C-alpha cells in the first residue's frame, strides 16, 4: 500500500484481480497467506517513484 501510494480498498481489489488472473493463491481464513504462482525472476523489479510535490500558492 505504501509503496504504490494507494488505499487499502485499492490493494484489496488488486489482490482479487491477481487471484482471478491465476497469478496468486490465498488460503481462505488464513491471514497473509498469499502464494505467488509465477516465477519471481519473471517479474519486473519495482523501483520507487519520486513523488512530485506541487506547490500551492494561497492568496
Give pLDDT, residue 35: 95
Pairing of strands 35-36, 24-25: antiparallel
Taking the chain, what is the end-to-end CA distance rounded to the nearest angstrom? 35
Give pLDDT, residue 34: 94
Backbone dihedral angles phi then psi of residue 50, each to the nearest 5 degrees: -70, 130
Find all residues with CB under 8 Å of 39, minimum gap 6, and list them.
none
Among residues 22, 49, 46, the alpha carbon closest in space to that of 36 is found at: 22
- 22, 37 Cβ separation under 8 angstroms: yes
DSSP designation for 20 = H
Give pLDDT, residue 49: 67
3-59 pLDDT per residue, tens: 888 999 999 999 999 999 999 999 989 988 999 999 989 988 887 766 655 555 555
Amino acid at each position: 500500500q505504501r509503496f504504490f501510494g494507494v488505499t487499502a480498498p485499492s490493494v484489496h481489489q488488486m489482490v482479487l484481480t491477481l487471484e482471478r488472473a491465476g497469478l496468486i493463491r490465498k488460503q481462505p481464513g488464513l491471514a497473509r497467506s498469499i502464494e505467488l504462482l509465477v516465477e519471481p525472476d519473471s517479474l519486473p523489479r519495482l523501483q520507487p517513484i519520486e513523488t512530485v510535490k506541487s506547490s500551492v500558492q494561497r492568496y
